[in-house]
Structure 1
Amino acid sequence: MNLLILGGTTEASAIARALAHDTRFNATISLAGRTRQPAPQPLPCRVGGFGGAEGLAGHLTAHRIDAVIDATHPFAARMTRNAEEAARLTGTRLLVVRRPPWRRQPSDLWIDVPDMKAAAEALGPVPRRVL
């Protein structure tokens, strides 16, 4: 079975490791290319976009992909929409893997904001990693 893993997350890497030595599957992992030094993968890896849903559909057809595993980042909504549309166009099976939502813990310091713009503003002007 030919699989395409849409990756870039810890979950995608775990799936790739699980499939790497399973001879029932011929899997490739695809990364968006936004990370300077992506972690080495145990499967063949392609890097870069597909050109929207139509481009992804063309890739699925050209490579005879039987199923797509969407294990992209939760904020990669456009890629998930493209995967859904490409799967619909080609009749390819699609499995979407999502992280469970974070749950508030008593010691957490959460700041609630209405949208992404407000979240960026709440971080202040100094660039830094926050998660």
Structure 2
Amino acid sequence: MLGIVLPAIITAFSLLILDWLLPGITIDTVTASVLAAVSIGIVNGVVKPIIQLLSLPLTFVTFGLFSLLVNGFCLWLSSAFVPGFEVRGLVGFLVGPIALSFLSTTFGHYLLEGRTPASLPEA
């Protein structure tokens, strides 16, 4: 259970920091941040693989740069489902997913200290 909840908490915390750092991402409440983290997880798990598969030729031609647009679209799509979470402008659309990935990975590394989800204790 902790292997599912902890990444969502890390993403929610990262989103709150991005709200403070980036002008293109706005989060109204902590609840909106948690709901946005869950929404991002669902969109990245369900919608993103389909979009990546359909856009594979374009990603190949652009040497992977098109995947930045796919990530931005997925972040924007998540914001469409969560009231109080807004992604707007070029900064939010392109820099937001990169910064979110960096922060989530960094916090996850330091919080999990090299443990894999399989090695986390069950609650």
How does the TM-score come out when normalised to structure 2?
A: 0.33
Q: Which has the higher helix share?
A: 2
Q: Which has the higher strand share?
A: 1
How does the TM-score come out when normalised to structure 1?
A: 0.31
The answer to which structure, 1 or 2, has the higher relative contact order (CA under 8 A, 6+ apart) is 2
